[in-house]
Structure 1
Amino acid sequence: MSRTSPPQQTALDADVIVVGAGPAGSTAAFHLASTGLDVLVLEKTSFPREKVCGDGLTPRAVKSLVRMGVDTSEEAGWLHNHGLRIYGGGMRLEIPWPDLAEYGNKGLVRRRLDFDETLARQAEKAGARLQQETNVTGPVRDERTGRIVGVTAKPKGGEERTYTANLVVAADGNSSRLSVKAGRQRLENRPMGVAVRTYFDSPRHDDDWLESWLELWDGTPGQSNLLPGYGWIFGMGDGTSNVGLGLLNTTKGFANADYKGLLHSWLQGLPEEWQFTEEHQQGKVLGAALPMGFNRKPHYDDGLLLVGDAGGMVNPFNGEGIAYAMESAELAADVIAQALSRPEGALRERALHNYPRVLKDWYGGYYTLGRIFVHLIGNPNVMKIATRHGLPHPLLMKFTIKLLANLTDPRGGDAMDRLINAMCKLAPAA
């Protein structure tokens, strides 16, 4: 439920309020503050804090980090990787990240425990104000126009109060309580994934490839259905490996699946010397939802913009969320800065309503292809054919990795880039 406030405020608490200090929120705050806007970030927890994630970053995310001025050197604690190692169909294949003009050819690994704080501190350096342990409870609307003009929030140990601003950015993750209370529900016809992960002490901790296992079975391997998803092993460089799996909701029984049991079953089939066993496990198995393919809309209306997971921007092809959280946040910041340079009224609103159109231009066709893809691999027979007959062809797999990781040069590039870019342009954005 939204609260209302008088149509005229004597003073605003900020130009823009950002709800959530994850990758999307901190990136938005950084770019907004860099333009000179007064930005207030409200984060319900305090740093350092844990998040469920694979901790692996593709070259898309690396580009966003570089644009924020983050030091991604190994000396600064980042583990570099060369590309993707794939297991499936009895095959083992290593595919380096492509050499592109738009993106570099390195990936990174960093624990979310301090990754998020790194971005939040970068936003602070740019001038954003970070207020931790402040739980946002709902939007505040102008009683005359119905427009969102702030939020109600309860700081730890304090009374609930109202914070006002010209605009509010929802960056509060996959459940996005602020979006829901503003009346923006999840679109049930869009794909959703679930990821579970934990850490193990392992001799594989310094592996400089991201590793993906394509064969997850809902029973005995070879005698049951091949599931639409994959397992991962990402070395953290600190004596541990991040090990987990992700599944799509296009499989039968998704809602009742035992994800932790599936993870345990998969790990039992891995070499004993890798130490992915209970006695070497560090922490619990934790899970999180993966909202995909624009599964919450509208991305802008009535003074509220959605970025990252709050807007359902996880890549349907591979479950990657951080790169799209950061990219969408930068796109939103650019639109907001342009809008707030205009006088309040119709001109400003016209600029703000450009945000959904910008998102469609960037991701719309690609996400449409992704939604088709996840429905196809929801069929166990399709998944089996793709795994058994695709992996033996390195050129086809190179194309597939470019498509799944969304790594192409938008202008020029090779024949694969041009084909993928053409497919994305031809696919209807929705």
Structure 2
Amino acid sequence: MTDVIIAGAGPAGTIAALVLAQAGVRVTLFDRASFPRHKLCGDTVNPGARAVLRRLGLDHVTAGGLSVKGMVVSGERGVRVIGAYEGECSGVAISRRVLDERLLTAAAAAGVEVQQGVLAQAPLRSDDGRAVTGLEIVGPSGRVDRQTARVTIAADGRSSRIARATDLSATPRWPRRWAFGAIFSGVNGLSAFGEMHVRDRRYLGIAPLPGGYANGCVVTGDRAALRDPDLLMTTIRDDAEIAGRFARARRVSDVAVLGPLAVDVRAAGMPGLLLAGDAAGFIDPMTGDGLRFAFRGGELAALEALRVLDGGWRDAHLRLDVARRSEFAAKWRFNRALRALAASPAAVRAAGVSAALLPPLLRRVIQYAGDVHLT
């Protein structure tokens, strides 16, 4: 029997698998996609996330990426603050298509059995229904199979079939926002800084990518705006600060849509099952720290799985919940506060006035958003 099976070969799943395999655990990793594949994301590994990779000996997976020295944040009425990361800290911009494939290659090299094109469609339950004993999977041919293991980790994203089937996660009634993103060539004015442009009821992120490309993504909960089939380009064209920079730009990917974004969870697992990555909860991505949550969350799930294999379950899912709260609770509060601010036009205007009068305050926010304190 495989010791641990993992649904989802994104960053959280591959980090969990790699940590376990390096400890001598037999691990099988399933993903419905075939890699490389495109993934809607900000495409930036912030300084804190980069520190996790470095500690795990995985800094090489970002090779060839662009150094990100900080963030440019703009608001309406000309407010603009440049926040450079302190000291030698930097993030790195690299497409998820490249990053995820490299992480998966590293996991396979460590001894993980990787099965691509395989959907983890449901959890297997014990006879009394109180524990998860494995996964029901569907292979490329459509054949349904049952895979059992001592520990199952669900890292299959914010729409996790496993977390939802076990009533561990749900989409909250509020906030409900959607992200629309694409890759562009020919965008003018790119630099070594990521960009966040906060506007009334939406925000637009722009991240430079290797090869002269840029990631552009707009996030909004404005229901009227969501009826626009070309919302991303409308947002760019209607923004006086941004439009000219995209005058000769060309979209080189389809527009990917993700939403509603927020996912709440009531626990980080149940007997037999641990959650990791976006399957364990998701907050709007405006601070760019999603990959650190994924990397560190995958590692925490793996460490708890190792304890289970060594000494039995003994409320492992509750211990993981405590570990995640200890690690992430302060940042979750910070992100929710920014999310609430961005949802209020009055608050956005007030924040713009504060940023114009006290730019050092916004620079400190940028440091914390980039997890510089964790490097």
TM-score between the two structures when normalised by the length of structure 1? 0.79
Deviations, residues 84-127 of structure 1 (Å, cap 9, x unaligned) = 1222231332211134xxxx611111111121111111111222
What is aligned with 1:395? 360
What is aligned with 2:66? 79
Pairs aligned (count): 373
* Cα pair 2:180 2:232 within 8 Å, conserved: no
Deviations, residues 14-51 of structure 1 (Å, cap 9, x unaligned) = 11111010111111111111111111001111111111
Q: Which amino acid aligns with 2:68?
A: N
Deviations, residues 267-302 of structure 1 (Å, cap 9, x unaligned) = 34356663455x72212221113744x712211212
Distance 2:187 2:196 in 1: 18
Which of 132, 152, 158 in structure 2 is aligned with 1:174? 158
Q: What pairs up with 1:323-362 in 2 under 5 angstroms?
A: 323-342=292-311, 344=312, 348-362=313-327
What is aligned with 1:55? 43
Q: Which amino acid aligns with 1:85?
A: V
Which of 307, 329, 352 in structure 1 is aligned with 2:276? 307
Distance 1:151 1:98 in 2: 45
State the 1:254 CA deviation: 7.5
What is aligned with 2:182? 198
Q: Which amino acid aligns with 2:362?
A: M
Distance 1:409 1:65 in 2: 12
SS class of match (1:238): helix
In the TM superposition, structure 1's runs of 4+ consecutive aligned residues that sit over 6 Å from their partners are none
Deviations, residues 114-155 of structure 1 (Å, cap 9, x unaligned) = 211111111112221111111112111121463111111111
Which of 209, 212, 215 in structure 2 is aligned with 1:242? 215
* Cα pair 2:45 2:92 within 8 Å, conserved: yes
SS class of match (1:48): coil
Residue 153 of structure 1 pairs with residue 99 of structure 2: no
Distance 2:149 2:31 in 1: 16
State the 1:201 CA deviation: 1.5
Q: What pairs up with 1:255-294 in 2 under 5 angstroms?
A: 256=226, 258=228, 260-261=230-231, 263-268=233-238, 269-270=240-241, 274-276=245-247, 280-289=250-259, 291-292=261-262
Deviations, residues 167-196 of structure 1 (Å, cap 9, x unaligned) = 111111111012112222315266454221
| 1:163–1:152 CA distance, 2 compared to 1 (3 A) | same
State the 1:256 CA deviation: 4.7
State the 1:328 CA deviation: 0.7
Q: Which amino acid aligns with 1:395?
A: P
| 1:381–1:84 CA distance, 2 compared to 1 (3 A) | same
What is aligned with 2:196? 212
Distance 1:92 1:377 in 2: 16
State the 1:371 CA deviation: 2.7
* Cα pair 1:205 1:239 within 8 Å, conserved: no
Which entry has the higher C-alpha Rg, 1 or 2? Answer: 1
Distance 2:42 2:374 in 1: 26
Q: CA RMSD in A?
A: 2.7
Distance 2:332 2:145 in 1: 39
Distance 1:161 1:258 in 2: 42
TM-score between the two structures when normalised by the length of structure 2? 0.90
Q: What pairs up with 1:90-169 in 2 under 5 angstroms?
A: 90-99=78-87, 105-144=89-128, 146-157=130-141, 159-169=143-153
Residue 16 of structure 1 pairs with residue 4 of structure 2: yes
